[in-house]
Amino acid sequence: MIKVENLHKKFRHLHVLKGITTRIVKGEVVCVIGPSGSGKSTFLRCLNLLEKPSGGSIYIEGIDVTDHSLINVNEVRAEVGMVFQRFNLFPHKTALENITMAPMKVRGLSVEEATERAYELLDRVGLRHKADVYPDHLSGGQQQRIAIARSLAMKPKVMLFDEPTSALDPEMIQEVLDVMKNLARDGMTMIVVTHEMGFAKEVAHRVLFMDEGEILEEGAPEELFNTARHDRAKQFLSKILK
Amino acid sequence: MLKNKLRFLFRIIFILVLLLTSFGAVQAESKTTADLKIISDPLGATVYVDGNLTKLHTPCTIKDLSIGDHRIELRKSKYRNEKKVVTVKPGQNSEEFSMAETSLYYMWLSLPALLLGALMTLFLTCVAVFNGIIIGTFTGVCRVIHNKIVNMAAGIYVDFIRGTPLLVQIFMIHFGTPPILGILFNNGQPIPINPFLSALLALSINSGAYVAEIVRAGIQSIDRGQMEAARSLGMSYKHSMRFVILPQALKRVIPPLGNEFIAMLKDSSLVSVIGMEELVRKAQIIVTRSYRPTETWLEVGLLFLVMTIPFTRIVSRLERRLKVND
């Protein structure tokens, strides 16, 4: 479903991604792990074109989204949901309005349709009772669940999660992970940058270990965690799997 | 003997009487009175002599005043009077009084004219800042969108206005453009612009540049994540700007806009130099007539203060409230 070929990204002199090549099939849950600065987030942001790749191609359902003559960036993004580390909810809108805004503006849904869809999603993340609350008055975990609902409202084909639990207090991490697990169980294609190894073990079909802009290791979670070949991967895993 | 004694007594009495009468005559001679003519500016004041109302109205002549010092007081109204000790000499006397108003009374009298000027100042400021907000929002957005040419054009406008004195901008519009207009539309004959129009134009254009900077800062103060979140949902740049960034930015922009209003209220005084009759110009006119600069300018200062203080209060209250919300 997603095919990445030799993806490069440079920020001026900084070579962040040095030729990423991978394939993600429909319904697959892929966790991306690696030390900070290894280019995980940049890789994710390239997938929905928040960063413009400097080289290589990304095919989403067979269409090269790096070819700007072929595609409309906004249409690509509408199909690729993204959840951020810092939630990035719109503070001037209620939880419900956060969810209904994009479907109405981009998909052209009516208020009724959008609201109905929003309530379904609020039920799914267990926050129907918070529909009319502003983000300021929600806990971090609740905000992140609303953010997930907001992305889902666009009915994306794939969901990207950029360290969705890193900015959360420990007691709120589980509620977000539970929502993500349910999502995975429902067959959503997901790419998750995370440090939650428990989540990776339980849910992921495949784990990518990235370091210095390259995918060093790739494989099923148990296999990768136990039999990493590279020293850097071993070091990182030994620290994080304690 | 007795006869002699009596005669002697009579003589003494006679001499005494003579002496007394002659002394009286001398006395009468020195007791002559004089007239005092009193002129005053303004005329029509009531005259008090040595504390007694003499019910005269200037100009007048007080007859039969004894020679010597007299305390003369003139009263025109409650707020205008003058006291003087006048030395009356034999012959014709005249004294001129010029009664100044008390400072407060003068300020009270000049208040209506100055208030009219203050109204004009307020009006100019309101219209200028209103236009400034329209120009500035547009220009501010032009400064942040991804288009080099538009960025540059907006940048040049803002830098030019912020880098030159408002006074020069006023002169450029009021004196600089009529010849150009003349060449374009009037066969080279300059078309003069009326001061009101040039004042409004100059202040609006000036305010626009400052508001543009405020709006730009407001937009850039919004977390980048907001734009990314909106874009990641597939919303276009235009939609993201309109529905996500601008509503948040405009809220943050309100307090600095209040400050801009206050600044403009004060700076608008510069249009007095092209003869726009706002508060300062009105004051200048009044001073040339009354020769009382101290009170007049103090009053102008107070009027500005009365206009700015409420806005300063409102702005600081807004700032506090927005801080709580952030």
Residues of A in contact with B233 (CB under 8 A): 77-78, 81, 101-102, 106, 150-151, 154
Q: Is B52 on the interface with A (CB under 8 A)?
A: no
Confidence at residue A242, expressed as pLDDT on a 0 to 100 scale: 64
Of all residues in chain A, the one with the smallest CA distance to B236 is A74
> Taking all residues of chain B, what is their mean pLDDT, rounded to a whole number?
89
Confidence at residue B12, expressed as pLDDT on a 0 to 100 scale: 81
CA distance A154 to chain B (A): 7
Per DSSP, A9 falls in state: E
CA distance A164 to chain B (A): 13
- C-beta atoms of B236 and A102 within 8 A: no
Is residue B25 predicted with pLDDT exceeding 60?
no
Q: Is B322 on the interface with A (CB under 8 A)?
A: no
Q: Is B248 on the interface with A (CB under 8 A)?
A: yes
Confidence at residue A229, expressed as pLDDT on a 0 to 100 scale: 85
Pairing of strands A2-11, A63-64: unpaired
Confidence at residue B245, expressed as pLDDT on a 0 to 100 scale: 94
- C-beta atoms of B232 and A80 within 8 A: yes
The torsion defined by the Cα of B15, B19, B20 and B22, in degrees rounded to 10, comes to 130
Q: Is B228 on the interface with A (CB under 8 A)?
A: yes
Residue, of A210 and B100, whose pLDDT is higher = A210
Least confident of A25-29, B95-99, B226-230: B95-99
- C-beta atoms of A151 and B244 within 8 A: no
pLDDT average, residue stretch B303-326: 85
- Complete edge-to-edge strand list for the sheet that includes strand A63-64: A14-24, A2-11, A55-60, A63-64
Is residue B23 predicted with pLDDT exceeding 80?
no
pLDDT in tens, A73-84: 888 898 999 999
- C-beta atoms of A154 and B229 within 8 A: no
Is residue A50 predicted with pLDDT exceeding 60?
yes
Considering only CB atoms, A105 lies closest to which of B232, B235, B251, namely: B235
> Phi-psi bin for B114: left (phi > 0), alpha (psi -120 to 50), beta?
alpha
Position B270 confidence tier, pLDDT thresholds 50, 70, 90: very high
Least confident of B84-88, B162-166, B279-283: B84-88
Q: CB within 8 A of B65, min separation 6: which ones?
A: B33, B34, B35, B36, B49, B88, B93
Considering only CB atoms, A90 lies closest to which of B226, B251, B325, namely: B226
pLDDT in tens, A130-143: 999 999 999 999 99
Residue B311 and residue B98: Cα distance in Å, rounded? 43
Is residue B30 predicted with pLDDT exceeding 60?
no
Confidence at residue A12, expressed as pLDDT on a 0 to 100 scale: 87
Confidence at residue B45, expressed as pLDDT on a 0 to 100 scale: 87
Judge whether A208 and A217 are in contact, CB under 8 Å.
Answer: yes
Confidence at residue B16, expressed as pLDDT on a 0 to 100 scale: 77
- C-beta atoms of B232 and A82 within 8 A: yes
Confidence at residue A22, expressed as pLDDT on a 0 to 100 scale: 93
Is residue B55 predicted with pLDDT exceeding 60?
yes
> Taking all residues of chain A, what is their mean pLDDT, rounded to a whole number?
91
Confidence at residue B22, expressed as pLDDT on a 0 to 100 scale: 66
Of all residues in chain A, the one with the smallest CA distance to B228 is A50
DSSP-based three-state secondary structure for B46: strand
Confidence at residue B24, expressed as pLDDT on a 0 to 100 scale: 59
Considering only CB atoms, B234 lies closest to which of A84, A106, A147, namely: A106
pLDDT average, residue stretch A159-180: 93
Highest mean pLDDT among A50-59, A65-74, A221-230, B156-165: B156-165
Confidence at residue B28, expressed as pLDDT on a 0 to 100 scale: 52
Amino acid at A17: L
- Which pTM does this prediction carry? 0.78
pLDDT in tens, B220-258: 999 999 999 999 999 999 999 999 999 999 888 989 999
pLDDT in tens, B297-314: 999 999 999 999 999 999
Confidence at residue A204, expressed as pLDDT on a 0 to 100 scale: 93
- C-beta atoms of B229 and A84 within 8 A: yes
- C-beta atoms of A154 and B235 within 8 A: no
Is residue B31 predicted with pLDDT exceeding 80?
no
- Give the whole-number percent of chain B exceeding pLDDT 70: 95
Confidence at residue B2, expressed as pLDDT on a 0 to 100 scale: 65
Is residue B40 predicted with pLDDT exceeding 90?
no
DSSP-based three-state secondary structure for A206: strand
What does R_g of chain B's alpha carbons equal in angstroms? Answer: 38
Is residue B54 predicted with pLDDT exceeding 80?
no
CA-to-CA separations, B160 to B132, B164, B168, B214, in angstroms, rounded? 15, 6, 11, 16
- C-beta atoms of A88 and B243 within 8 A: no
Of all residues in chain B, the one with the smallest CA distance to A160 is B232
pLDDT average, residue stretch B146-174: 96
Is residue B178 predicted with pLDDT exceeding 90?
yes
Confidence at residue B238, expressed as pLDDT on a 0 to 100 scale: 92
CA-to-CA separations, A185 to A189, B4, B52, in angstroms, rounded? 10, 164, 110
Residues of B in contact with A81 (CB under 8 A): 232-233
Position B19 confidence tier, pLDDT thresholds 50, 70, 90: confident
What ipTM does this complex have? 0.91
Whether residue B42 has a cis bond before it, omega within 30° of 0: yes
Judge whether B281 and B297 are in contact, CB under 8 Å.
Answer: no
Confidence at residue A100, expressed as pLDDT on a 0 to 100 scale: 95
CB atoms within 10 A of CB B20: 11
pLDDT average, residue stretch A40-48: 92
